Amino acid sequence: MGDGPLAGLRVIDAATLAAGPLIATWLGEHGADVIKVEQPDGGDPLRQWGSQKDGVGLMWKSVGRNKKSVTLNLRHQRGRDLLHELCGQADVIVLNLRPSTLRKWELDYPNLAAGNPGLVMVHVTGFGAGGPKSDHPGFGTLGEAMSGFAHLTGSPDGPPTLPSFMLADGVAGLTATYAVIMALYHRDVHGADGQLIDINLIEPLARLLEQSVLTYDQLGTIPGRMGNRWDISAPRNVYLTKDGHWLAMSGSAPTIAKRALQAVGRPELTTDPRFAEAQQRLKNAGEIDAIMAGWIRERTLEEAMTIFEEADVAAAPVYDAEQLVGDPQLLARNVFPRILDAELGSLRVQAPVPRFSATPGRIDHLGPALGEHNDEIYGGLLGLDAERRHELREQGVI
């Protein structure tokens, strides 16, 4: 990409699956030149992960947007040497190898930064550097379990519930992305060297669940599963409508909670001591919940939403994918543009988030074919001639 707030920044994405590659994806949407380094024998497992169409991984197409793909066998010494050369001309590298593997292959931060002191390295692991689990394999599922998320999710009488999407990876990736920007600011504004960013799949998600730790530390109680209710807000739940749809509501702000009670024809409850004050309202959340459920059950989704919107109540329909892409608000903002693709013809993906007024994010292309940019990067950037590139291919290095 030639423009954007991160134009001129070169990022090496040498990680696999979700958290690490997502960091590079978000940087690439805003102008960074991203080189995706993949093993020659199959590439990033993300290519085979999840839904496929004609053998093409749909999630890969989105996460691989704006990236240049090169193949590089890091199990081969010459492959590791080439990665060192790439790092010598990069600003950021993202890796998710185990700490012991990094040291064994001399791809740890001191070794990579020796040839480029300004390099910022993001190391994504399951459990983080240091500690007894440092070298254990870890995936998002473990982060969602150990962070406390699964413990709080699900019905009170049901099992802990894991998300059916890459929650821990996504939260870790977002956290690491802003960490990269801070590290680059420190380097470029304060005249410092680059540095190592240590990120794992537990701590970023646990930070969002900190309420449980605060409650345990100060009150000695352990919050449990409450279904779709939440013990800091009432009303707060999903409710079934007359025509079989689901509607979500949040009364987190006292003014919104009072409007909701007025909207369902119970204005007298807004001055009732049991419901007018936030803490008392929480103690009587079950009664409020029953009132809302009964009122919504007697109305269609359209009828209920019309009344709530007119009353300025925080309510929304629970969407599936079809409803999401068809929502008038999201259509007006072009949240899901259709991007042309050589393999799929076109694919509707989500546009970059957030939105900038002067330097908007872009999607130049979707995930490329494995090794599609070998000649451009190894020939152009590193200056390896055609004969040398052929030799490296014959040796299984690229």
In a domain, 4, yes or no: no
Instruction: State residue 366 phi and psi, 5-degree precision.
Output: -90, 180
One digit per residue, the tens of pLDDT, for the chain of length 398 reads 458 999 999 999 999 999 999 999 999 999 999 999 999 999 999 999 999 999 999 999 999 999 999 999 999 999 999 999 999 999 999 999 999 999 999 999 999 999 999 999 999 999 999 999 999 999 999 999 999 999 999 999 999 999 999 999 999 999 999 999 999 999 999 999 999 999 999 999 999 999 999 999 999 999 999 888 877 677 889 999 999 999 999 887 778 888 999 999 998 888 888 876 777 777 888 888 999 999 999 999 999 999 999 999 999 999 999 999 999 999 999 999 999 999 999 999 999 999 999 999 999 999 999 999 999 999 999 999 999 999 999 999 99
Choose the final residue of a domain: 274, 308, 342.
Answer: 308
How far apart CA 210 and CA 223 sit, in angstroms, is: 11
The span from the CA of 108 to the CA of 98, in Å, is 10
Find the CATH number of the domain harbouring 27: 3.40.50.10540
The per-residue pLDDT for range 159-214, each reduced to its tens digit, is: 999 999 999 999 999 999 999 999 999 999 999 999 999 999 999 999 999 999 99
Q: Do both 270 and 388 map to the same domain?
A: no
Look-up of token digits 């962070």? 147
Do 285 and 338 belong together in one domain? no
Same domain membership, residue 371 and residue 295:
no
Residue 1, pLDDT score: 43
Cβ atoms < 10 Å from Cβ of 216: 13
Strands 33-38 and 67-71: parallel
Whose tokens are 């999201």? That residue is 330
Q: Which residues are catalytic?
A: 169
Return d(Cα 292, Cα 298) in angstroms, integer: 10
| Cβ-proximal residues to 131 (8 Å cutoff; 6+ apart), any chain | none
What spatial distance separates the first Cα and last Cα of the chain, rounded to whole Å? 24
Look at residue 252 and tell me if it is in a domain: yes
For residue 80, being part of any structural domain is answered with: yes
Inter-residue contact 141 to 17 (CB < 8 Å)? no
pLDDT given for residue 253 in this prediction: 77
Q: Are 96 and 19 in contact (CB under 8 A)?
A: yes
Both 257 and 387 in one domain: the answer is no
Domain membership flag for residue 265: yes
Contact 253, 278 (CB under 8 A): no
Give domain status of residue 186, yes or no: yes
Q: How far apart are CA 284 and CA 347, in angstroms?
A: 48
Q: Where are the beta strands (DSSP E) in 39-155?
A: 52-53, 56-57, 67-71, 92-95, 120-125
pLDDT, residue 2, reads 54
Q: Do 175 and 298 lie in a common domain?
A: no
Instruction: Say if residue 28 is in the same domain as residue 139.
Output: yes
Task: Provide the domain count of the chain.
Answer: 2
In angstroms, the CA 361 to CA 364 distance is 10
pLDDT over 70 for what percent of the chain? 99
Backbone region of residue 4 per phi and psi (left: phi > 0; alpha: psi in -120 to 50; beta: other values) = left
For residue 197, with 0-12 CB atoms within 10 Å meaning exposed, 13-18 middle and 19 or more buried, which class applies?
A: buried
Residue 320 placed within a domain:
no
Q: Are residues 258 and 202 in the same domain?
A: no
Does residue 199 sit within a domain? Answer: yes
Answer yes or no: are the C-beta atoms of 35 and 13 closer than 8 Å: yes
Tell whether 96 and 14 lie within a shared domain.
yes
Contact 337, 345 (CB under 8 A): no
- Looking at the structure, tell me whether residues 37 and 120 fall in a common domain: yes
| Residue that terminates a domain, selected from 308, 343, 364 | 308
Pairwise CA distance, residues 193 & 195, whole Å: 7
- Please check whether residue 47 lies inside any domain of the structure: yes
Domain interval for residue 252: 236-308
User: pLDDT digit string (tens) for 300-314?
Assistant: 999 999 999 999 999
Chain centre to alpha carbon of residue 248:
23
Structure tokens at 392: 């490296």
Name, in order, each residue with C-beta under 8 angstroms of 73's C-beta and a sequence gap of 6 or more: 39, 40, 79, 396, 397, 398
Q: Cα 8 vs. chain centroid, distance in angstroms?
A: 24
Report whether 50 contacts 57 (CB < 8 A). Answer: yes
